[in-house]
Amino acid sequence: MTDDLDDPQWLSAAALGRAYASGEVSPVEIAEGLLGRIEALDAKVNAFCVIDSGATIAQAEASQDRWMAGAPLSPLDGVPVAIKDLLVTKGWPTLRGSRTVEKDQPWGDDAPSVARLREAGAVFIGKTTTPEFGFKGTNDNTLTGTTRNPWDLSKTPGGSSGGSSAALAAGFAPLALGTDGGGSVRIPASFTGTYALKPSFGRVAAWPLSPFGTLAHVGPMTRTVEDAALLLNEMAKPDARDWYQVPNTVPDFLAALEQGVKGARIAYCPTLGWAKGVDPEVAEAVRHAALAFQALGAQVDEVDPPLEDPSEIFRTLWFGAAGQYLGPLPEEKKALLDPWLRHMVEEGLKYDLPRFFEAQLARGRYGAAMRQWMEHFDFILTPATAVPAFGVDRMSPGDTDPYWLWMPWTPFSYPFNLTQQPACSINGGFTSAGLPIGLQIVGRMFDDAGVLRAARAFEAAHPEHHRTAPGF
């Protein structure tokens, strides 16, 4: 998290680009250094499920040749990126954290976001762990085991993009790709003190389409807001395989990054009107963040949207999709699933078409009401998660019904998958135990640049939040 060339594992993507251009460091040096760091330390964290040193070094060597010739493909040429194991990657298996996926098959395609980064010359450092098919908010599976939080190895990094966030927090890569169907880039960013953006739905192309349909987003995960903007510049480029993708009217997400939030209208929503069990230290950190935005020149009003808890809508769509996607598996394959995932699949199979259709209609009404309410505000400010990171052996922080898995402690994330708005998590401070606290900033639909700008203003005002995990 510095520009110090004596500590290259913490260089940002932007700093690496400058160092490559000046010749102070090379893509091969960085790739070799990070691979060595992963070999030495990832046994403690378990962030990666695929490492292919030969392929990584070959990409770095090709990038080095381009920089030496003065012909880099993009500002991200030679920059290492970690890829969540839900995103198909040419030449590498994508097992989705599941024993039901056959490893021995052709792996000949890149997901759109992966393809855009390959075209940009990024160096793929490895694939990161995920809970099975990304179904929960913690990060373990029966195939590759449990991923731990670099801030405290007894804690979870969150999920389902927990491997990507852990890799960032441990200094294994400056960039990572994640997916978010109900909070899956924001939850782990909150728990690991990193940055993640769930873009507006359709901003980043997805293929194959997620079984969770239009709830699912592909997003950049980084250690700095600037790096997220750089990454989104490449990820948002078009791919005809996703017919949901919208035309990108923001060719450069860096352009307005430093314009601040003076005059912006912000709704500070401590509970969104329904969230329960918000940790007092989390609540206090978000309150201080609201005051910080006010000091930066924004108009901040403490107000909750006049909307009801949409958890039943989300639950129906989430469980129903899981049932339809995995229900057809033969019994011998179902027996290999995580028991809680199988339970969710069986429950989802009970949902009939009228129930699912009514949930879709209710989602439409909820999204329309939220969009109308946001005509009065530029941004919403909430906790990213109701709690800080908890024990690595748990699916929830307390005695909540495990059947719900993660929804009781993530009441701030899934509503914005329903509405498809851009939303990010940025580190908003630390608990008394030294664990990061995530701050969520939500923008109007398609105002991804605005969310990045607001996050950057907060980041610049609070450099003390920008630190590394102890021991890493």
- Write down the catalytic residue from 160, 164, 413, 425: 160
Which residue out of 12, 26, 63, 84 is catalytically annotated?
84
Q: Mark whether 113 is an active-site residue.
A: no
The dihedral over CA atoms of 466, 412, 147, 464, expressed in degrees to the nearest 10, equals: 10
Strands 265-268 and 140-141 turn out to be unpaired
Task: Count CB neighbours of 280 within 10 A.
Answer: 8
155 labelled catalytic: no
Distance CA 48, CA 95 (A): 12
Enumerate residues 6+ apart whose C-beta is below 8 A from 308. 273, 274
Active-site annotation holds for 160? yes
Of the candidates 260, 190, 176, the one whose C-alpha atom is nearest the C-alpha of residue 452 is: 260
Active site residues: 84, 160, 184
